[in-house]
Amino acid sequence: MGTQRTSAHEIERYGGLFARRTRGMTSSAMRDMMAVTARPEVISLATGLPDTTTFPAEDFAALMSRVAVDSSAAALQYGPTDGLEDVRRCIVEVMAAEGAAVETDDLMVTTGGQQVIDLVCRAFLDPGDVVVAEAPTYPGAVPCFTSYQADVVQVEMDGAGMRIDVLRTTLDRLRAEGRKPKFIYTIPNFQNPGGVTMSLERRRELVRIAAEHEIVVLEDNPYGLLRYEGEPLPTLLSLDGGRYVVYAGTFSKILSAGLRIGWAAAPRPILEKLNLGKQAADLCSSPLNQYFVVAYFAHRDWRAYLSTLRAIYRRRRDTMLAALDEFLPPEASWTRPEGGLFIWARLPDYIDTSDLLARALREHVAFVPGRAAYLDGRGGSEMRLNFSGVGEDEIREGVRRIGKVVSEQVALYGTLTGAKPAAPRDARASASPRTADEPQGRVLPLRRREAS
Amino acid sequence: MKVAVLKGGSSLERPVSLRSGARVEDALARLGHDIVAIDVGPDFVDRLVAERPDVAFVALHGRGGEDGTVQELLELVGVPYTASRPSACFRCMDKVVAKHALRDAGIPTPDFYAFSQAAFEDLGAGRALPAIEERLDFPLVVKPAAQGSALGIKFARTAADVPSALVAAFSYDTKVMFERYVPGRDLAVAVLDGPEGPEALPVVEAIPTEEDFYDFEARYEIGRTRFVCPAELPPEVTLRAQELALATWRALGCSGFARVDLLAEGDELTVIEANAIPGLTDTSLVPLAAEAAGIPFDAFVARVLDLAVARAPA
């Protein structure tokens, strides 16, 4: 394009050619702000980046040399669409660690877990089809859903994950409208961005509902092995017995996100459709990177590296929780995740976190504004904070700066309206004991907020 | 000539600036110039001194690049540069200063009241809100004083919306403005300097395709806003819009090129603001207007550069 003469007229002409589905994909204000969050002077709590600095460079070098020596021609060649048999054996091992028994034939290697979301949308969605997702949902799934022109219905969560009572009401309402969701998208463990984990009882109910209504559940589980406390819960896949659940897994959080290797576990008729979609999308996921995974599992202890990561992230999570307690005003609340990479915070309704981000960027700190996790304008006063991407000192300093700008806005609002500041958090905590429905602390309910 | 293209920076409009800059670089390359692209950061002055360009093309938008800061440094280092001098940049960037200047010059602009955060915190300005609301009437617009794009601009439909709109606007600046809401058509007039003095280019109308407000997103997104140039207006309204743009240019002391935004409520025109360094991306209004005037982008860039070179540093 560089040497061609382009003009707004010509661009406008392309405007008429773009597919309608590209309409929902635009959020340039957010993209522009996010571009600023990536500046080196900014402490970014906005990423979802795992820590890759602790992966030993010498291991990387040694394993890649081994791939080069042992599998050169194959690693440089196209591979099978469902992935190398050897990688699928590694996946079986990881799935066993998650408590799910699968065979290599139940699996398909994908280009990151993200591709599973795309392939499931591709296989199941016609324009206007309903998808049920959590509220808030994974911001990275939003462009996927919108690009397939899905009608996304979001179901609130509380401390025990997706509210199954609300799900039932939602399904009933949809049925009354003559509509039926194609699938329910959920991240049961340490949800991104909510930080909450679905209780065992709700997992059972969800799987039951899926079978009852004959709806697929897309279980996205990138963080299951990143548990820092509490007992692991069974996957929906294992509870369902392999009938309605499509499971998305990834090596991104336990080995490397740069490999872009993930997988789907699903009933075979579904796998076949996903396979067709993958042929169209990219033929196969990088064999070079798949060979790296195989070499890694053969010659290194993946569980040992995982426990190193867990220790690092646990400390970072604790640092962030302590900093939030210290620096955020009592008007704010947040989730206390038992694992994963994210904390979800809620501020008073009168603070808009998209605008607050502009203020925060002047203090060189960034977070993800809550609206990114909703498709219906909700989430305006919420934010996602990541604790895996930067070190403990930066987490503390970043939260301090966020606390400063939030406190400033709370005080300004008080000045404008005469509203009194909230009581200190300690006093409130003793006044409202935790309820059974809030097993993880003071946060949730992630209640409904009117779209504005 | 050795031309430094200044772009990027750390303002919220950084990505737009990078696009403007890239497009200017392409044009300069076609014009046969030697280009030094500078992403403006902490090493800016060092690079300027080291590179010693003959002239700098300022393709920065927003805080730092459009508010006179970079221009002041260029004056200091002695590098000629495109578009307005620091004082005009400063006047354009601060909407409150600009609107006062417009009002003083008798140029119609929607009524407004401006306050600093300190006025609310230290002087009890909150007590004056009912009076403002009464004078400007609802809905009213709440704007940060210095934010180049439409970021942070809020509508208050009732008195209950005002506090949160203020909190939002103060996210972008320590000074905000209440402005009377003017329903109407969004017009923009680009002004381009030349040997015979500044000329107003054909009027552009921005027609939002879906949103109820011509917002930050729509401004840069293909397909979200339709631009019509020349705008379909009665000849006398077109003429009046161009006259107002030139009057605004003079009142604010612009040079090189600038863009003046207006609203047309029926045939009544009001000036909203002026942009000292408007976008030059492939979806921006100024290149579109220039082309409608028979000035292709390369010729536009060449002319702006010539003006900069001809103007000796102050």
Q: Which of A26, A358, A413 lies closest to B221 in CB terms?
A: A26
Q: Which residue has the tokens 């921005």?
A: B206
Closest to A359 (Cβ–Cβ): which among B171, B224, B284? Answer: B171
Q: Respond yes or no: is residue B172 known to be catalytic.
A: no
User: Across the interface, which of A2, A15, A416 has its CB nearest the CB of B163?
Assistant: A416
Of B30, B120, B172, Cβ closest to residue A415: B120
Q: Is the peptide bond before B53 cis (omega within 30 degrees of 0)?
A: no
d(CA B60, CA B10): 10
Chain A nearest C-alpha distance from B257 (Å): 18
Q: Would the CB atoms of A351 and B167 count as touching at under 8 Å?
A: yes
Question: Torsions phi, psi of B217, nearest 5?
Answer: -65, -50
In chain B, which residues have their Cβ closer than 8 Å to the Cβ of A358? 12, 151-152, 171-172
Active site residue B211: no
CA distance B3 to A131: 53
Residue A421 neighbours by CB under 8 Å, 6+ apart: A329, A330, A331, A410, A411, A414
pLDDT of residue A4: 33
- Return the residue of A nearest to B298 by Cα: A5
Helix ranges (H only) for A249-301 are 268-281, 287-299
Nearest chain B residue (CA) to A417: B163
- Round to whole Å and give the CA distance between A88 and A110: 11
Omega within 30 of 0 (cis) for the link into A369: no
- Interface touch B170/A359, C-beta < 8 Å: yes
CB contact under 8 A, A415 and B296: no
Q: How does pLDDT run across A67-101, given as a tens digit for each residue? A: 999 988 999 999 999 999 999 999 999 999 999 99
Residues of B with Cβ-Cβ distance to A411 under 8 angstroms:
121
Identify all chain A residues contacting B226, using CB atoms and an 8 Å cutoff. Answer: 12
Which chain B positions have a beta carbon within 8 Å of A355's beta carbon?
151-152, 167-169, 171-172
* Residue A281 near chain B (CB below 8 Å): no
- CB within 8 Å: A413 and B167: yes
Residue in chain A closest to B281 (alpha carbons) equals A8
Cβ–Cβ of A350/B291 closer than 8 Å?
A: no
Residues of A in contact with B133 (CB under 8 A): none
pLDDT along chain A (452 residues), means of 10: 37 63 60 78 92 90 94 93 97 97 97 98 96 96 93 96 97 95 98 97 97 96 97 97 95 95 97 97 97 96 96 98 97 97 97 94 94 89 96 98 97 88 63 39 43 36
- The per-residue pLDDT for B28 is 97
Residues B7, B16: Cα–Cα separation, whole Å? 9
Long-range (24+ apart) CB contacts under 8 A made by B34-38 are: B34/B1, B34/B2, B34/B3, B35/B3, B35/B4, B35/B5, B36/B2, B36/B3, B36/B4, B36/B5, B37/B4, B37/B5, B37/B7, B38/B4, B38/B5, B38/B6, B38/B7
Radius of gyration of chain A (CA): 22
A29 interaction partners in chain B (CB closer than 8 Å): 151, 215-217
pLDDT value for A294? 97
Count of all residues that appear for chain B in the document: 314
Q: Distance from B285 to chain A by nearest Cα, in Å?
A: 8
The single-letter code of the amino acid at A143 is P
Distance from CA of B171 to the nearest CA of A (A): 5
The residue among A22, A401, A412 with the most chain B CBs within 10 A of its CB, best to mutate, is A412
Give dist(CA A371, CA A137) in Å, integer: 10
Contact across the interface for B283 and A412, Cβ inside 8 Å: no
pLDDT in tens, chain B (314 residues): 999 999 999 888 888 899 999 999 999 999 999 999 999 999 999 999 999 999 999 999 988 888 999 999 999 999 999 999 999 999 999 999 999 999 999 999 999 999 888 888 888 888 888 888 888 888 889 999 987 666 788 888 888 899 999 999 999 999 999 999 888 898 999 999 998 899 999 999 988 766 544 443 344 344 467 789 999 999 999 999 999 999 999 999 999 999 999 999 999 999 999 999 999 988 889 999 999 999 999 999 999 999 999 986 55
Interface of A with B in 17-46 (CB under 8 A): 18, 22-23, 26-29, 31-33, 35-36, 39, 41
Q: Which chain A residue lies closest to B222 (C-alpha atoms)?
A: A15
Nearest CA in chain B to A350: B164
Are residues A413 and B164, on separate chains, in Cβ contact within 8 Å? yes
Instruction: Confirm whether B75 is a catalytic residue.
Output: no
* Strand, coil or helix: A86: helix
B8 is catalytic: no
CB atoms within 10 A of CB A268: 10
Q: What is the pLDDT of residue A448?
A: 40
What is residue B139's predicted lDDT score, i.e. its pLDDT? 87
Query: What's the CA gap between B193 and B188, in Å, rounded?
Result: 16
CB contact under 8 A, B162 and A416: yes
Chain B hits for A412, Cβ within 8 Å: 117, 120-121, 166-167, 170
CA distance A343 to A317: 8
pTM to 2 decimal places: 0.86
Q: How many CB atoms lie within 10 A of CB A333?
A: 19
Q: Determine the straight-line distance between the first and last CA of chain B, rounded to whole angstroms.
A: 21
Of A2, A18, A33, the CB nearest to B223: A18
Is residue B25 within 8 Å of B110, Cβ to Cβ? Answer: no
The first and second tokens of residue A153, run together, are 């219905």
Instruction: Tell me which chain A residues have a C-beta less than 8 angstroms from the C-beta of B167.
Output: 350-352, 355, 409, 412-413, 416
By the 8 A CB rule, do A331 and A422 touch? yes
Q: Do A14 and B296 touch (CB under 8 A)?
A: no
Contact A172, A179 (CB under 8 A): no
Token representation of residue B278:
């408007």
- Residue B115 CA: distances (Å) to CA of A411, B66, B97, B134, B313: 17, 22, 12, 17, 35
Write out the two tokens for A146. Answer: 């919108």
Nearest to A113 by CA among A131, A86, A97, A94: A94
Cα–Cα–Cα angle for A259, A263, A265, rounded to 5 degrees: 170
Q: Which amino acid is at A102?
A: V
Nearest to A15 among B12, B120, B222 (CB): B222
- A-chain residues near B169 (CB < 8 A): 355
Closest CA–CA distance from residue A382 to any residue of chain B (Å): 14
Q: Are A298 and A130 in contact (CB under 8 A)?
A: no
B contacts of A357 (beta carbons < 8 Å): 171
Determine whether B261 is an active site residue: yes
Residue of A nearest to B167 (CA): A409
Distance CA B113, CA B104 (A): 15
User: Which pLDDT does position A234 carry in this prediction?
Assistant: 97
Interchain contact, B164 vs A352, CB within 8 Å: yes
Query: In the sheet that A151-158 helps form, which strands lie side by side, from edge to edge?
Result: A107-110, A262-265, A245-250, A216-220, A183-186, A130-135, A151-158, A161-162
